[in-house]
Amino acid sequence: MAEISGGRAGPQIVKKALGATTTLRVREAALTGEEAQAWAKAEMLRRARRFVSVVGTTRGSPDMIVGSRLTLQQVGAPFEGSGYYVTRIRHTVDLVRGLRTYFEAERATVNEVT
């Protein structure tokens, strides 16, 4: 997967813990083997992207938009680092806290921890 640059991905961890698994998902019938392979790959990527999900708040990041890449710090060794993609965002302003950015992001891997 092009989105994985290091660490351990969900499918690897599940395979190691539970052994090989088979998942069936039927919504439509593929007309060709190539179409079935493309659907399977897209579904695997979708599931892998959501392996690590985070919810956070910043003091205000007006440039952050859906699709932005994040680097998290001081969140614990397995989850620190780059590779997070913002999937949901809300910017707010109030008289007490000023600009706040609430976000959700996801990443396909956890870091190796020694």
- The confidence score (pLDDT) of residue 70 equals 93
Q: Is 44 part of any domain?
A: yes
Q: Where are the alpha helices (DSSP H) in 4-70?
A: 10-18, 33-49
- The confidence score (pLDDT) of residue 1 equals 47
Rounded to whole angstroms, the Cα distance separating 48 from 110 reads 11
Q: Is 3 part of any domain?
A: no
pTM of the model: 0.64
Judge contact between 40 and 23, C-beta under 8 A: no
Q: Is 2 part of any domain?
A: no
For residues 92-101, give the mean pLDDT: 92
φ and ψ at residue 8, rounded to 5 degrees: -110, 130
Q: Is 34 part of any domain?
A: yes
Q: Total domain count for the chain? A: 1
Q: Is 73 part of any domain?
A: yes
What range does the domain containing 66 cover? 8-110
Q: Is 1 part of any domain?
A: no
Q: What is the pLDDT of residues 22-75, one digit of tens each?
A: 666 666 777 888 888 888 888 777 777 778 899 999 998 899 999 999 999 998
